[in-house]
Structure 1
Amino acid sequence: MNCNQITPTVRAEEKGFRPWCASCALKQEDRILGSFETLPDVDQRIELAFLEKQLKALGQEYDEKARIYLEDDSERKEYEDSRAGKDDIPVARLAEIMRQQGLSIGRNQLYVWLRKRGFAYFDALRNRNLPTRQSLDKKRMTVEYKTYVEKKSGRLKQSPQLRITPSGQEFFISTLAEERNRG
């Protein structure tokens, strides 16, 4: 043990603590020793003012997140008729199925193939592959929206994901197989 160590009571006397701490409403000596006192009426009003400010800030944050969610919902109306069904699969799963059937293609290669043939396009604003209107009308693809919280801002965001319907799976597998057999 260090010989220069100071006990809490001596430390409180040496530093000349003020009798009240405004933020926690405790006597400084009592805070060091571990006992508490009740808040006087003035300090209770100060605490209520701080709580009201925090509540107002939380309300504004909630309103902002709700507004962002509703704005994203309005963007989704463009793909409203093409909601993903339970049998729809992502492009990565379709690539696995194709590999099991002997067609050597990966997920990224399949995305490139879909874009070259006009079944999908790359949306730079959302940084996502999305189906073309033709693919949606022929019910070969759908869009599923996943909600997540952005790490930096804490905002609610939605990310569209390309999904392949069962009829689209058959069509894309047969079309790719025909191209590979011809070429």
Structure 2
Amino acid sequence: MHPKAIFADAVAASSTSILIGDLAKILKQNGVEIGQKRLFSWLRDKGFLIKRKGADWNSPTQRAMEAGLFEIKETAFSHSDGHVTVTKTTKVTGKGQQYFINKFLEAAG
């Protein structure tokens, strides 16, 4: 197996999700000239993330969620005055990492 195929299999089997910015770093290490901001923009333009301004901005589309490419991590913060804020973070699943890495490497090659 080629090193990239071994890497792709290891990523797909991984149960850990990573941030979109980390995916940009992995792509850059594999020779794809893209940073976090351009990757977010590309994901919105291609219909993987919601581009409508507001609370859903940069959340995965239903199609991307059903494909298993992303997951949403919710974190609750308790403030000193007693109110709680919930933040949502979009993370790329192992399957999503493999999908996007292959997609960019095919386009580059």
> Fold match, TM over 0.5?
yes
Name whichever structure is richer in helix by fraction. 1
Q: Matched residues in 2 for 1:95 and 1:168: separation?
A: 13
TM-score under structure 1 normalisation?
Answer: 0.47
- Aligned partner of 2:93 in structure 1 is 165
* 1:128 Cα offset (Å): 4.0
> Hey, which bits of structure 1, 4+ residues long, moved more than 4 A?
none
- Aligned partner of 2:6 in structure 1 is none
* 1:126 Cα offset (Å): 2.3
- Aligned partner of 2:31 in structure 1 is 102
Deviation track 1:110-134 (CA, whole Å, cap 9, x = no partner) reads 1111111111114533274100111
Q: Which residues of structure 1 form unaligned runs of 5+?
A: 1-84
Q: 1:134 aligns with which of 53, 59, 63?
A: 63
Distance 1:167 1:127, change over 3 A: closer
Q: Matched residues in 2 for 1:160 and 1:134: separation?
A: 18
CA RMSD after TM alignment: 2.3
* 1:104 Cα offset (Å): 1.4
Deviation track 1:131-158 (CA, whole Å, cap 9, x = no partner) reads 011111110111001222468x763111
SS of the residue corresponding to residue 163 of structure 1 reads strand
Q: Matched residues in 1 for 2:79 and 2:41: separation?
A: 28
SS of the residue corresponding to residue 130 of structure 1 reads coil
Size of the alignment, in residue pairs? 96
Larger RCO of the pair (alpha carbons < 8 Å, separation 6+): 2
- Residue identity over aligned pairs, in percent, reads 25
Query: Which residues in structure 2 correspond to 1:103-122 (within 5 Å)?
Result: 103-122=32-51
For 1:157, give the aligned amino acid.
Answer: T
TM-score under structure 2 normalisation?
Answer: 0.75
Q: Which residues of structure 2 form unaligned runs of 5+?
A: 1-13
Q: Is the 8 A contact 1:120 1:131 kept in 2?
A: yes
Q: Which has the larger radius of gyration?
A: 1
* 1:159 Cα offset (Å): 1.2
